Amino acid sequence: MIATVYQEIEQIFRQAFSNLGIPDSVPVVLQDASKPEFGDYQVNGAMAAAKTLKMNPRELAGKLIEQINSPQIISHLEIAGPGFINIKLSDQYLAGLLADGSVLKVNDDREHTIVVDYSAPNLAKEMHVGHLRSTVIGDALVRIYEFLGNKVIRRNHVGDWGTQFGMLTAYLFELNQQENAAIELHDLEEFYRKSKVRFDEDADFANRAREFVVRLQSGDPQVLALWRQFVETSLGHCQEICDRLGTKLTREDAVGESSYNDLLAPMVSRLMDSGIAIDSEGAKCVFLTPEELGSKDETPFIIQKKDGGYLYATTDIAAVYDRVHNLGADRLVYVIDARQSLHLKQLFVVSKKAGIASPEIKMEHSAFGTMMGEDGKPFKTRSGGTVKLIDLINEAIERAETMIRERNPEWSKEEVIALAQTLGVSSMKYADLSKNRLSDYIFSFDKMLAFDGNTAPYLLYAYTRINSIFNKAGLEREEYLGKNITINEFDEHRLAVHIAKFAEKLLQTAKENYPHYLCGYIYELAGLFMKFYESCPILRSDVSDDIRASRLALAALTGETLKLSLSLLGIPVVERM
């Protein structure tokens, strides 16, 4: 089934290549036209094909054009430069695509079961700014995969096990004795700091903490109850933030490291018995070759320490086993900091080598860079401490509230607060998603809340402006979806082409896990609509009824495309700004 305009055009040219004896190994090389006045797409494959056939590229391009007979899709073909072929789509073809609404209905090539590992805070502390990127990028990918018809399983791989929980449960035990636990647990960051001070300065407490680690790992009921009390409290803090950010994560999606405890020993045995892991000075390690890793790093993948303790590597292998064998995943996506690249490379290689994940299972690291302060350094408080994510969210909302009040002094307090909640969080999320996830970026409240440029306020304003056209005319935008569209003007054509490319841009986003592709698409969509609105009057009295109806239909579909695209990024639209 042909899902996109891109695929349809590529298939037409693939057949033309085949008709001229050009082997399938030579790509068509179809891409967007470099300038809209040249066309809508461009084929660049004639140059490589000409080398294969030992022909002049422009001559071959001419012969390819002679093979194309699709007037219902392509209205014009033109040779440019050394052998590029510019393609203009038929206005009638575009009108048909847009009128039936199929351009916004996209499916993946087949249904996949995708496990997305994202957010993943350490429950010993509160979520901080470092968790923002994983949480919002992962949530956007989840929404896009689901929209494309996949079965998506969210996994918030929280850190809820390890030696630090001996210290925390020992401190909680003391507080329960004093009946101060509820008060202290309100601020987990302070709770952790106080327990660490006790551990460092009180030898008796430190010994008790170590004892609690042993008791926790051996299943002692009293210490397990304390651990559950702490973990539940911390999960409540995390869920509050996920809800404030408008993510799809729920408490059920939080599957901690402790969930895999029963699988750890079997995984170590499997790797040792197969000879993949070996004993190295008492520790059990996997040593991978440069060829296997694709790098010269010789750091071993340690799955069990000399003292018998397990590590993140062991838990991660167990998680792969669970996700593949119990959840039936055929694609595993890890939305994790780029600094974990080596660890994940090792995990993927070891999992495939041990047969825990079969060769056809896709394992992908959707790495991301660091969020920096305006000084160009990692984001910190003025005192150099870690910024709590909840504090960042609250400040974004407060700044949005101030800005809205200044722009709309006549609004009620309730109206201002309602919009500020959406605008503050959406601006923060979009500022992150619109950047190439591999890049470090400067976090700036002023830039992300601006009404110009590639920002959430600009795009939300564009949506409200479209709705205002219908409100002014006393019409409902939804009533014009699916209505006939006639394309006569250049800016109508450009806007229609861009809407028609929605499917291919979304599939590219899902394939490569880059949400900024979709952000770029909707930013350009908003700009094209503004040009269309300026050059193609809609409600003016001298516009005929038929043209007005057509342009209203095009405006309605633009609004729907904006709304859908923003929703796939986890950003709700607003009715007025």
> Which tokens go with 491?
């800016």
Hey, what are 5's tokens? 């305009």
Place of tokens 């000084």: 375
What domains lie within the chain, and their CATH numbers?
5-89 (3.30.1360.70), 164-251 (no CATH), 456-568 (1.10.730.10)
In this structure, how many other beta carbons lie within 10 angstroms of the beta carbon of residue 530?
14
Q: Tell me which residue of 317, 323, 325 sits closest to 343, measured CA to CA.
A: 317
Under 8 Å between Cβ of 105 and 499: no
Question: Can you list the positions of beta strands (E) in 247-324?
Answer: 278-280, 283-286, 301-304
Work out the end-to-end distance of the chain between its first and last CA atoms, rounded to an integer number of angstroms.
41
Residue 225: Cβ within 10 Å count? 14
pLDDT the model gives residue 522: 98
Q: Cα separation of 159 and 196, whole Å? A: 18
Count Cβ neighbours within 10 Å for each residue of 45-54 and write b for 16 or more, e otherwise: bbbbbbeebe
Give residues with Cβ within 8 angstroms of 317, minimum separation 6. 267, 271, 303, 347, 350, 351, 354, 356
Angstrom distance (rounded) from CA 198 to CA 506: 52
pLDDT in tens, the chain (577 residues): 457 999 999 999 999 999 999 999 999 999 999 898 999 999 999 999 999 999 999 999 999 999 999 999 999 999 999 999 999 999 999 999 998 778 898 887 789 999 999 999 999 999 999 999 999 999 999 999 999 999 999 999 999 998 899 999 999 998 888 776 676 788 888 899 999 999 999 999 999 999 999 899 889 999 999 999 999 999 999 999 999 999 999 999 999 999 999 999 999 999 999 999 999 999 999 999 999 998 888 889 999 999 888 999 999 999 999 999 999 999 999 999 999 999 999 999 999 999 999 999 999 999 999 999 888 887 776 666 788 999 999 999 999 999 999 999 999 999 999 999 999 999 999 999 999 999 999 999 999 999 999 999 999 999 999 999 999 999 999 999 999 999 999 999 999 999 999 999 999 999 999 999 999 999 999 999 999 999 999 999 999 999 999 999 999 999 999 999 999 999 999 998 8
Tokens of 208: 């008790």
Can you give the pLDDT at residue 1? 41
Q: Could you give the maximum distance between any two Cα atoms of the chain, in Å?
A: 89
How far is Cα 529 from Cα 463, in angstroms, rounded to an integer?
10
Two tokens at 508? 């590219």
Measured distance CA(255)–CA(572) in Å, rounded = 28
Contacts from 538-547 at CB under 8 Å and sequence distance 24+? 538/469, 539/469, 539/472, 539/473, 546/486, 547/486, 547/488
* Side-chain half-sphere exposure of 346, counting CA atoms within 13 A: 23
Provide the 10 A C-beta neighbour count for residue 415.
14
pTM: 0.94
Round to whole Å and give the CA distance between 357 and 311.
20
Which pLDDT tens digit goes with each residue over 177-206? Answer: 877 667 678 888 889 999 999 999 999 999
Q: Give yes or no for a contact between 145 and 510, defined as CB atoms under 8 angstroms apart.
A: yes
